[in-house]
Amino acid sequence: MGSEEILAQLTDIVREVLEDETLVLRPDMTAEDVPGWDSMAHINIIVASEIQFGIKFRAAETEELRDVGGFVELIEAKLP
Amino acid sequence: MAGSPMTSPGTARAPREAIILGSRSIGVAEQASFAALAADRNPIHTDAAAARRSMVGSVVVHGAHTLLWSLDLLAGGEFRPAAVGSIDARFPKPLYLDERAECRLEPRADGSLMLRVQVAEKVVATILVGTSPTPTPAAEPDAGSLADAAPLDAAPRETDLDRIEGERGVLITGGPAAEYGRRFPQAAALLGDALLRDIGGCSRLVGMICPGRWSLFSRLIVFPRPGREGEGLRYHVAGYDDRFRLLRIDVAGGAMAAKIEAFSPPPPVAQPDISTLAGTVNPGEFAAQRALVVGGSRGLGALTAKLLAAGGAEVHLTYASGVQDAQALAGEIGRHSGRAACHRFDVLETRPEDLMRALPPITHLYYFATGPIFQAKRRSYDPVLLESFTRFYVTAFFELCQAAWQAADGIGLSIFYPSSVAVAERPKELVEYAMAKAAGEILCQEMPRLFRGMTINVERLPRLLTDQTASVVPQSLPDPSAKVVAILRKMNAGR
Contacts of A36 in chain B (CB under 8 A): 92, 123
The reported pLDDT for the residue numbered B4 is: 40
Q: How crowded is residue B493: how many other Cβ atoms within 10 Å of its Cβ?
A: 9
The reported pLDDT for the residue numbered B472 is: 54
The reported pLDDT for the residue numbered B139 is: 61
ipTM: 0.84
Mutate to test the interface with A, among B119, B244, B246 (most CBs of A within 10 A): B244
Residue A1, classed as helix, strand or coil, is: coil
Query: Cβ contact (<8 Å) for A19 and B126?
Result: yes
The reported pLDDT for the residue numbered B147 is: 74
Residue B476: pLDDT band (50, 70, 90) is low
Contacts of B241 in chain A (CB under 8 A): 47
Query: Cβ contact (<8 Å) for A36 and B92?
Result: yes
Distance (Å) from the alpha carbon of B428 to chain A's nearest alpha carbon:
7
Chain B interface with A: residues with Cβ < 8 Å: 90, 92-93, 108-109, 114, 116, 121, 123, 126, 128, 218-219, 241, 243-244, 246, 261, 263, 427-428, 471-474, 476
Residue B379: pLDDT band (50, 70, 90) is low
Share of chain A above pLDDT 90, in %: 55
Residue A19: pLDDT band (50, 70, 90) is confident
pLDDT at residue B8 tops 50:
no
Contacts of B244 in chain A (CB under 8 A): 43, 46-47
Residue B6: pLDDT band (50, 70, 90) is very low
B340 vs B51, residue with greater confidence: B340
B367 vs B473, residue with greater confidence: B367
Residue B108: pLDDT band (50, 70, 90) is confident
A65 vs B195, residue with greater confidence: B195
Residue B1: pLDDT band (50, 70, 90) is very low
3-state secondary structure labels for all residues of chain B: CCCCCCCCCCCCCCCCCCEEEEEECCCHHHHHHHHHHHCCCCHHHHCHHHHHHCCCCCCECCHHHHHHHHHHHHHCCCCCCCCCCEEEEECCCCCECCCCEEEEEEECCCCCEEEEEEECCEEEEEEEEECCCCCCCCCCCCCCCHHHCCCCCCCCCECCHHHCCCCEEEECCCCCHHHHHHHCHHHHHHHCHHHHHHHHHHHHHHHHHCCECCCEEEEEEEEECCCCCCCCEEEEEEEEECCCCEEEEEEEECCEEEEEEEECCCCCCCCCCHHHHHCCCCCCCCCCCEEEEECCCCHHHHHHHHHHHHCCCEEEEEECCCHHHHHHHHHHHHHCCCEEEEEECCCCCCCHHHHHHCCCCCCEEEECCCCCCCCCCCCCCCHHHHHHHHHHHHHHHHHHHHHHHHHHCCCCEEEEEEEECHHHHCCHHHHHHHHHHHHHHHHHHHHHHHCCCEEEEEEEECCCCCHHHCCCCCCCCCCCHHHHHHHHHHHHCCC
Task: Give the nearest chain A residue to B94 (CA atoms).
Answer: A40
The reported pLDDT for the residue numbered B374 is: 58
The reported pLDDT for the residue numbered B494 is: 64
Residue B475: pLDDT band (50, 70, 90) is low
B494 vs B285, residue with greater confidence: B285
Residue B458: pLDDT band (50, 70, 90) is very high
Task: Give the nearest chain A residue to B473 (CA atoms).
Answer: A39
The beta-carbon neighbor of A19 closest among B90, B244, B427 is B90
Share of chain B above pLDDT 70, in %: 90
pLDDT at residue A65 tops 80:
yes
Phi, psi of B230 (to 5 degrees): 75, 25
pLDDT at residue B278 tops 80:
yes
The pLDDT mean for chain B works out to 88
B53 vs B384, residue with greater confidence: B384
Contacts of A22 in chain B (CB under 8 A): none
The CA distance from A16 to B388, in Å, is 34
The beta-carbon neighbor of B92 closest among A32, A40, A59 is A40
Residue A31: pLDDT band (50, 70, 90) is confident
Chain A interface with B: residues with Cβ < 8 Å: 17, 19, 21, 32, 35-36, 38-44, 46-47, 59, 62-63
- Which of A26-30, B32-36, B53-57, B96-100 shows the lowest mean pLDDT across its residues? B53-57
The CA distance from B208 to B215, in Å, is 9
- Which of A35-39, B47-51, B75-79, B369-373 shows the lowest mean pLDDT across its residues? B369-373
Contacts of A21 in chain B (CB under 8 A): 108-109
Residue B384: pLDDT band (50, 70, 90) is confident
pLDDT at residue B86 tops 90:
yes
Residue B477: pLDDT band (50, 70, 90) is low
- Kindly tell me the burial class for residue B223, based on how many C-beta atoms sit within 10 Å of its own C-beta (0-12, 13-18, 19 or more): buried
Query: Cβ contact (<8 Å) for A59 and B474?
Result: yes
pLDDT tens-digit readout, B245-275? 999 999 999 899 999 999 998 887 777 899 9
pLDDT at residue B474 tops 60:
no
Contacts of B123 in chain A (CB under 8 A): 36
Number of A/B CB contacts below 8 angstroms equals 44
The reported pLDDT for the residue numbered B150 is: 79
pLDDT tens-digit readout, B422-457? 899 887 778 899 999 999 999 999 999 999 989 999
pLDDT at residue B120 tops 90:
no
B81-108 mean pLDDT: 93
pLDDT at residue B27 tops 90:
yes
Query: Cβ contact (<8 Å) for B244 and A47?
Result: yes
In 3D space, the residue among B368, B370, B386 whose CA is nearest the CA of residue B459 turns out to be B368
pTM for this structure? 0.80
Distance (Å) from the alpha carbon of B228 to chain A's nearest alpha carbon:
32
The reported pLDDT for the residue numbered B419 is: 94
Q: Are B459 and B413 in contact (CB under 8 A)?
A: no
Residue A55, classed as helix, strand or coil, is: coil
- Which of A76-80, B68-72, B119-123, B396-400 shows the lowest mean pLDDT across its residues? B119-123
Distance (Å) from the alpha carbon of B243 to chain A's nearest alpha carbon:
6
Distance (Å) from the alpha carbon of A8 to chain B's nearest alpha carbon:
18
The beta-carbon neighbor of B244 closest among A21, A38, A43 is A43
Q: Are B289 and B491 in contact (CB under 8 A)?
A: yes
Query: Cβ contact (<8 Å) for B92 and A38?
Result: yes
pLDDT at residue B7 tops 80:
no
Mutate to test the interface with B, among A16, A22, A23, A43 (most CBs of B within 10 A): A43
Mutate to test the interface with B, among A19, A22, A30, A33 (most CBs of B within 10 A): A19
Residue B2: pLDDT band (50, 70, 90) is very low
B121-137 mean pLDDT: 86
The reported pLDDT for the residue numbered B230 is: 61
Query: Cβ contact (<8 Å) for B121 and A35?
Result: yes
Distance (Å) from the alpha carbon of A78 to chain B's nearest alpha carbon:
18
pLDDT tens-digit readout, B140-155? 677 677 777 778 888 9
pLDDT tens-digit readout, B203-249? 999 999 999 999 999 999 999 987 666 668 999 999 999 988 999 99
Task: Give the nearest chain B residue to A31 (CA atoms).
Answer: B428
